[in-house]
Amino acid sequence: MFRRILFIITVLALATSALAAKQKNSIQIKGSDTMVNLGQAWAERYMEENPDSFVAVTGGGSGTGLSSLISGTCDIAMSSRNIKEKEIALAQKKGINPYEIKVALDGLAVVVHPANPVSKLTVDQLAGIFTGRISNWKDLGGKDEKIVVLSREVNSGTHVYFKEHVLRKNDPNSQEEFAHGALMLSSSQAIADEVAGNTSAIGYYGMGYISAKQKPVFIAQDEKSEYEAPTIENVVNGKYPISRPLFLYTNGQPQELVKKFSDFCLSKEGQEIVLKTDFVPVK
Amino acid sequence: MRKFKEFIIEKLILLCGLASIFFVALIFLFLLKEGLAVFKTVGLFSFLGGKSWYPISEPPHLGILPLILGSLWVTLGAAIISVPIGVACAVYIAEISPGKIKEVLKAGIELLAAIPSVVLGFIGMVTLVPLVKSIFHLPTGLTALSGSIMLAFMAMPTIVSIAEDALYSVPKIYKEGALALGATHWQTIWRVILPAASKGILAAVMLGIGRVIGETMAVMMITGNAAVIPQSILVPVRTLTATIAAEMGEAVVGGEHYFALFAIGIILFVISFIINVTADLFLHKRQ
């Protein structure tokens, strides 16, 4: 009887240690919804090449990702914004040192119907349009038509980015909001469809959605600077004003599997996946 | 033994009956618990009467007046369209149509009820929305009117089938009496049968409206979701249901936004509760 129990205990101990060893072969990635597809594409390819390791990717938003990195429930946080000082302070209190890796860039295209004569705007004019101060295309050199403003829902990181960087021009004290009458659509595809069928609409989405049915507007930071098209080249050299970096955050310098994975993301192959999922490579 | 079996079955059924009430109570308690927390940060008046809805700003603006009006506006439009058509359809089925047509019509209406709302929304998006835009020369076809028309399709099966039942339950003697007095078929329907069935028809209308106000997917797809106080039926609106559906994903659990969405849930619950109770009152008065 005693021997039997001993045997069972040994088996259990072996099993748990085996499990524990296996645990080290897996990493948890969490964060930005914008980056979920990218993260998943990386994870799938990485696991194909390294069948003994396991990478789990979940969304939830940049803030969710960073807070689970801080609480130690994920190994890598994906974020479509820089970590805030508040979050760094909180992390250090818990003995965690967020380490930032820039893995991709995302350009936001502002699009109108191809028949719309307006083809270039400044960031100021964009802010005017999306807050509702400018409400007719004729003020921008177009036809005498009411502007139909299309925005994403508040659950979208793109909505937040556009509000903070275009409407509020990075000013944390600004109280600018999207116009009351702005149509809130639930996906980038819905914006693409509405713009394609509506000559007086204007909307924004990630560059990957641009097609022949919409016309991307050339954007300038202010009247003195050049109007630039949302192309990968212009995002890379920083000329296009509405683009944002996408990050991975790890606890301290990446080690072991986390390092392997983040190196993979920055490798030629990883950056090709970036391009395939419609983001802009950093290398 | 047989008695024992009966006893067990009876108790099991009783348990099932109690369970549904129990769950409703639990859901309501949960709604209250999560939703009332929002009133720590906003007053009831500024929540219900506030004109701007910017839930993720700092500080958030949590005024749901545009959303309530949006919901009511779309519902009103849907009722105006679906009630006359639905009741007329029920009258035709119950009183006028010959046997074969009746079967076809009834099957057709049941089929209408079987179309998932997301499919109706999608069809509305690609057919109705451009149509509304070009007919009224609007800047966009994503309007309250488009939503109302699509929702009218959803309310119709409910209205037709319940109103039809009400018409059938009018005692035959009434009809025979009217005809015997020399009234025409139409006079009988208009002056005798419809008034006699009015309570049931009202209940049908209320239940149809209840169906419309709770509808989410189709309205979210075709009403444009702009949180403005509607000035006409041809502008975009944002409904209570679409707001919850669109924003729940990102709301931080335990945050103001999250509580506010639950509070919207309470408002919706109250509205549909009132509608259902009214319908019930009408139904019971009739008997």
Q: Contact, A242 vs A166, CB < 8 A?
A: yes
Q: Give A126-178 pLDDT, tens digit per residue.
A: 999 999 999 899 888 888 888 999 998 876 777 888 888 888 887 777 888 89
Q: What percent of chain A has pLDDT over 90?
A: 14
The pLDDT value recorded for residue A20 is 47
Residue partners of B129: CB distance under 8 A and separation at least 6: B141, B142, B146, B222
Average pLDDT of B63-91? 94
Within this chain, do residues A97 and A135 fall inside the same structural domain, yes or no?
no
Is B246's CB within 8 Å of A155's CB? yes
Within this chain, do residues A174 and A222 fall inside the same structural domain, yes or no?
yes
Neighbouring C-alpha atoms within 13 Å toward the C-beta of B136: 18
Asked whether the ipTM of the predicted complex exceeds the cut of 0.95, the reply is no
**Taking Cα atoms as reference points, which of A66, A29, A44, A54 lies closest to residue A276?**
A44
Within this chain, do residues A64 and A116 fall inside the same structural domain, yes or no?
no
Tell me the two tokens of residue A256.
């072991």
Within this chain, do residues A127 and A229 fall inside the same structural domain, yes or no?
yes
Domain ranges (residues) in chain B:
45-283
Query: pLDDT at residue A22 above 50?
Result: no
Residue B248 φ/ψ, nearest 5 degrees: -60, -35
Query: pLDDT at residue A283 above 80?
Result: no
Measured between beta carbons, which residues in chain A are less than 8 angstroms from residue B236? Answer: 181, 183
CA dihedral B157→B160→B162→B166, nearest 10 degrees, is -170
Question: Nearest CA of chain B to the CA of A14: how many Å?
Answer: 39
Within this chain, do residues A260 and A204 fall inside the same structural domain, yes or no?
no
Average pLDDT of B3-24? 92
Residue A56 φ/ψ, nearest 5 degrees: -105, 130
Q: Which residue has the tokens 């488009």?
A: B146
Query: pLDDT at residue A276 above 60?
Result: yes
CA dihedral A171→A177→A182→A183, nearest 10 degrees, is 90
Closest Cα in chain A to B253? A64
Q: Give B204-230 pLDDT, tens digit per residue.
A: 999 999 989 988 888 988 898 888 888
Q: Give B111-170 pLDDT, tens digit per residue.
A: 988 888 889 988 998 899 989 988 988 888 889 999 999 999 999 999 999 999 999 999
Measured between beta carbons, which residues in chain B are less than 8 angstroms from residue A197? Answer: 130
Measured between beta carbons, which residues in chain A are less than 8 angstroms from residue B251? Answer: 155
Average pLDDT of B235-262? 83
Query: pLDDT at residue A9 above 80?
Result: no
Residue pairs between chains A and B whose CB atoms are closer than 8 Å: 67
**Taking Cα atoms as reference points, which of A226, A242, A237, A245 lies closest to residue A123?**
A242
Q: Which segment of A52-66, B32-46, B133-147 scores lowest on mean pLDDT?
A: A52-66
Partner-chain residue, chosen from A145, A154, A181, that has the shortest CB–CB distance to B250: A154
Q: Is A189 on the interface with B (CB under 8 A)?
A: no
Within this chain, do residues A252 and A233 fall inside the same structural domain, yes or no?
no
Within this chain, do residues A154 and A262 fall inside the same structural domain, yes or no?
no
Question: Nearest CA of chain A to the CA of B57: how many Å?
Answer: 8
Pick from B64, B128, B250, B258 the residue to mutate for testing the A interface (most A CBs within 10 Å): B250
Confidence of residue A5 (pLDDT cuts 50, 70, 90): low
Within this chain, do residues A136 and A215 fall inside the same structural domain, yes or no?
yes
| Cα separation values, A179 from A176, B71, B226, B264, Å | 9, 20, 9, 22
Within this chain, do residues A96 and A194 fall inside the same structural domain, yes or no?
no
Pick from A161, A198, A202 the residue to mutate for testing the B interface (most B CBs within 10 Å): A198
d(CA B220, CA B246): 8
Tell me the two tokens of residue B24.
């409703």
Within this chain, do residues A209 and A222 fall inside the same structural domain, yes or no?
yes
DSSP conformation letters of A42-83: HHHHHHHH-TT-EEEEEEE-HHHHHHHHHTTS-SEEEESSPP
Q: Contact, A240 vs A108, CB < 8 A?
A: no
What 8-state DSSP symbol labels residue B94? I
Tell me the two tokens of residue A8.
């069972």
Pick from A154, A155, A162 the residue to mutate for testing the B interface (most B CBs within 10 Å): A154
Q: Contact, B223 vs B144, CB < 8 A?
A: yes
Domain that residue A255 falls in: 2-104+246-281
What 8-state DSSP symbol labels residue A239? -
Q: Which CATH superfamily is domain B45-283 in?
A: MetI-like (1.10.3720.10)
Q: What is the CATH number of the domain that holds A65?
A: 3.40.190.10
SS3 A150: strand
Q: How many domains does chain A have?
A: 2
Within this chain, do residues A99 and A113 fall inside the same structural domain, yes or no?
no
Strands A76-79 and A26-31 turn out to be parallel
